[in-house]
Amino acid sequence: MNILDEYRRNARECQRMAENACNAADKASWLRLAASWLSMIRGEPNRAASDDQNGHGEFRQAWPKRSDKDSKASH
pLDDT one-digit tens code per residue, 26-48: 999 999 999 999 999 887 655 44
Rounded Cα distance between 23 and 36, Å, is: 20
Domain membership of residue 68 (yes or no) is no
Number of domains in the chain: 1
Sequence-ordered list of residues with C-beta below 8 angstroms from that of 64, at least 6 positions apart, any chain: 36, 39
Domain membership of residue 67 (yes or no) is no
pLDDT exceeds 80 at position 2:
yes
Domain membership of residue 53 (yes or no) is no
Domain limits at 39?
Answer: 1-44
Domain membership of residue 40 (yes or no) is yes
Domain membership of residue 64 (yes or no) is no
pTM of the predicted protein model: 0.57
